[in-house]
Each structure stands twice: as structure tokens, then as C-alpha cells.
Amino acid sequence: MFKNKKRSYRIYLGIIVLLIASLALSGIGKAWYYFNSGADRSRALNLPPNIPDAHTPLIEWLPDDPNTGRAMEPFTRQQIMGDYIRGLYQWQLSYLAGKPVGLKEYFTPSSYPKALNTISTLERKKLTLHQTDLEHHIQLHFYSADGQIVSFTDKRVLHKQRLYQNNTKLFTTESIDDFDVVMLLDDGYWRLKHFVKRTPSATTSLKKDSLLDKSKMVSIRKNQFWLYGKAFQPKGINYYPQQTPWSFFWTKYDSTIIKKDFRKIQQLGFNTIRIFINFQDFERGTVPELRLLQLENVLTNAEKAHLKVIVTLFDFMGDYRLLNFAPSDRQLETILRRFQKHPAILAWDLKNEPDLDFKHHPTEDVKEWLAWILPRAKQYDPNHLITIGWAYPENASLFKDQVDFVSFHSYRSLNDLTAGIDLLKKQVNSKAIVLEEFGVSTYRGIWAPLGGSEEKQATYFREVQKILKQKGNVPYLAWTLYDFSDVPADIAGKYPWQRNPQRYFGILKKDGSPKKAALLFK
């Protein structure tokens, strides 16, 4: 019996040794993969990332001074900017908290009291500062021979600030300044030694892209859409795959289904689709290459099916705090620069129904965010049209002079639709308008025994088409292609009487067969 126990111990010991060896080899394998696949070595070595995941301002390295002491390695630039931006970010979090938050690691002992002083001054005056940095243009002046000291000027640093007292906003402002910066390498961190504000430089601007020949792009003359030198009338459908709507569209992306659905959409008589970019699924300010490839696949398949695409950005982004401006800007820049030449895109819709957020966020904060991204979008993509998808026509005249066409949604009565169009036409003058969402559910069941039907849906679409024709052939996109098997609780609500009607807005049934309304679009 004792020999059997001894043998068992040896077996267990052998298993443990094998497990340890396996884990070790796995670790070596992962490290080897990192260093031989172009991956970020700092992540493999558990070093600080380039910039905080939550904060992604624009960073541009300007040409270095002619004599910097020694040439700086790209990896060192990355580490310096990582600690510099992170230090500023922690400083801004400290303003919000009214006390230092992870601040000490990013300042030298001599400069740390100065950083604390700005925080304590606000606290003493019972003020709360919301601040974010959005652009940095770095010119290197000196890098010491021992690699321990660096000095640079951060030119035309763009800050946005909101100052509060007792939760009441006192003002919102924007500033542009230069900063002379000295940093020391100490205990593995680049720490701020010197940080002094200067008068902003007269030069330094964002990269500007040249305009393309727009003959393949949809354009607008007066209030008419044009394509290939001919009048173009957008006639479209809002699209999600039947089995993977909303966030699942990207997390369970299936190109084969996209191809089939786009052929079906084209056969139904549509020439335009509208899709949605989920802000979180595209990982805020650090958009992964996989998502960009998926979007490219959507656009390529749409082009093959002769469909134009309205791409709606920032879906389910309901954070209008200043700290979210930089991630918004980076996602906007990443996507628009990548696809600024793609002929399948009809327009960028910069936000789906931002007026619904007026209920839960200060209206001025929502407007400030929109005012921020509108010119940025035109900077990153000067070739495609820009719009905003408002939930209600009474709000759609906001930013009418900054968008290329005005978009609104309507799930109200037909009389309200008519009145809404009339009001909007008066407000926007000759600006083109698009009914970007409208529809009615065919659901009838225990939660709505006298609810919808295919006949009611067909009648509704027929009447909407008449109204749009009478009002000058207003372009439209119906909601939506398919009935869905399920609707997430965060879309329509957690209760069945909220979710069930939302499942049956499609002009196609769950099995893909057409409802009566589908025939009206051919």
C-alpha cells in the first residue's frame, strides 16, 4: 500500500513538472510570437502602453531641431509620449476628483508640489474643472547622451474645459497654447520636470487631404442628389442581418450572409442601405484592424450589389463628457481616413438620434460634442457627404449649415410626418432632406391583441410614399429589412410588451419571405 502511494506521488509530481514545462514553453512561444509578428514589444514585456486606453488625443511629431544631442529611437519616442500623455490624463482626473489620482509617478519631486497646487486651488474655491487635451504637436529640442533627459515644445496644444461650481456649469471654453516641457527618466518612468505655458505658435495644422475627382461619389446640387452626372434618388433600407442585429452585426460578422442579403436588397428595388458603427464594438479610440476589414468587406459587397451606403457612426455612444472627446476623434479619424476614397459610401451619418440624448445629458454638452466632430469629419474626409440622423424633424435644423443634407426619422402619425416635413423645409430653405428612418410593426399578440398586421404595414408605407412624392420626392430609407428573432433589452426595454413589437418591423419575415409591404418598393 505504501509503495502504491509513493508511486502515486511520483505520478502527480511528474504531471506538475509537465504542466510547469508546458506553461513555460507556452510563455516562450507567446514571447517569440510577439517579437516575430510586428507586435508591440512593450505589451509583451508588460511595459506601459503607448497611451492610456481611455485617452487617445491626436499626437504629431514635428521635425526635430537640427542638433538634439543624439538621435532618438522610435521606441523611446513612444515611451516618452506614453508617460507624458498619461501624466496629463492623471492630472485631469485629479481635477475632477479634487485630489491627486495616480499623479505622483508622472512628476519629479520638485514639480509634483506645483501640480498639487493647481488641484488644491480649485478645491479651495470649491470649483471642479473638467478638462481634456485633444491635440499635441511635438518638436524635440534635446535628448541627452545618457538617454535620461529630454526637452521638447508641445505646440498648439488644444484644450477644452468646463468649469463647475456646486454642479452648476459656469462656462465652457477652448484654448490653444504651447508648452515647454522637460522630462527625466527615473525608475522606469519618464517624469515631468518642467511644464511652462507659452504663447501659441502661428503654424502647425492637421494634415489635409486633397480632394478627389468626385464623379464616382454621390454629390448634391441645390437640393438634388447626383451620381455619374445624373440625378440620383436614394431609395433605401436600414440594414442588420436577421440573426445578428445591433452589436452582434460586428461581433458575429458573416460575409456570406452580407453578400446574400445585399443581392436580396438590390432585387427588392433599393439602391441604398444604412448601417451602424457601434462605438464600443469598434473599441473607442483604438479601432482594431479586424473591424476596419469587416467594414471594408461591407462596402465592397455593397459596391458589387450596386448599393450606396450611409454609414452611421458613434451608435450607442452616450458619453458627452470632455474626456470622451479624444476617443471619439480618434475613432472618427481612423475610419474616415481609411475609407475617404471608397465609392460605395453615400454619406457619413455622424450620430444616430442625438436628440434622444437630450433627456439624459445636458443639451449643450451634446451640441458641443457635435460641433466638435463636424469640422473634424470634413477634415478627415473631404470627399463624402455628411449628415446627422435626428430622431425628430423639429430638431433636424440644428447644424443645418454644417451638414450636406438634413436627415430625420419619423415613427409618428402620417399627419405628423406631413407637418414635420413642412416645418423642416421652411427651416432649412433649399437644403436637401432625407427621411432616414420610418416604419411600422406587424406584431399582433398577447401584448398587442389589436396591434399591427401586414395589411396595416403595407397601407402605411403606401401612404408615406405618397406624402414624400407630394413634398418634392423626398428620399427615404425604411426601417427595416428583416423581422428579428430577438431584440436586446438595451434596445427597446426589458419587458415583452416593449421588445416584441420591435421584432416585427421588417418588410421580410424571419425566414426571408416577403411581407406585402416589400412589393411596394420594387
- Evaluate whether 106 touches 83 at the Cβ level (below 8 Å): yes
pLDDT at 33 over 60: no
pLDDT at 446: 85
Q: Is residue 345 within a helix (H) or strand (E), and if so which, with residue range?
A: strand 345-352
pLDDT at 18: 40
**Alpha carbon distances (Å) from 76 to 39, 50, 71, 184, 187:** 16, 10, 10, 12, 15
Homologous superfamily of 214-521: Glycosidases (3.20.20.80)
Domain ranges of the chain: 58-198, 214-521
pLDDT at 205: 55
Percent of the chain's residues with pLDDT above 70: 88
What's the average model confidence in pLDDT over 204-231? 79
pLDDT at 49 over 70: no
pLDDT at 54: 76
Q: How confident is the model at residue 451 (pLDDT cuts 50, 70, 90)?
A: confident
- The tens digit of pLDDT for each residue in 80-94 reads 999 999 999 999 999
Q: How confident is the model at residue 493 (pLDDT cuts 50, 70, 90)?
A: confident
Q: How confident is the model at residue 263 (pLDDT cuts 50, 70, 90)?
A: very high
pLDDT at 38: 31
Cell of 148: 535620461
Cis amide leading into 76 (omega within 30): no
pLDDT at 8: 46
CB atoms closer than 10 angstroms to residue 341: 14
Which position has the grid cell 398586421?
A: 453
pLDDT at 50 over 50: no
- The tens digit of pLDDT for each residue in 187-207 reads 888 999 999 999 999 865 555
Q: Tell me if the domain spanning 58-198 has CATH number 3.40.50.2300.
A: no
pLDDT at 351: 98
pLDDT at 34: 29
- The tens digit of pLDDT for each residue in 96-136 reads 999 999 999 999 999 999 999 999 999 999 999 999 999 99
What's the average model confidence in pLDDT over 313-341? 97
Q: How confident is the model at residue 26 (pLDDT cuts 50, 70, 90)?
A: very low
pLDDT at 44 over 90: no
What's the average model confidence in pLDDT over 272-289? 97
pLDDT at 15: 40
pLDDT at 215 over 80: no
Q: Please, what is the Cα angle at 399 between 390 and 505, to 5 degrees?
A: 10
Is pTM, for the whole model, over 0.75? yes
Comparing 433 with 212, the larger pLDDT belongs to 433
pLDDT at 41: 28
Q: How confident is the model at residue 408 (pLDDT cuts 50, 70, 90)?
A: very high
Query: What one-character DSSP code corresponds to residue 284?
Result: T
* E-only strand ranges, 10-148: 58-61, 127-143
Comparing 464 with 30, the larger pLDDT belongs to 464
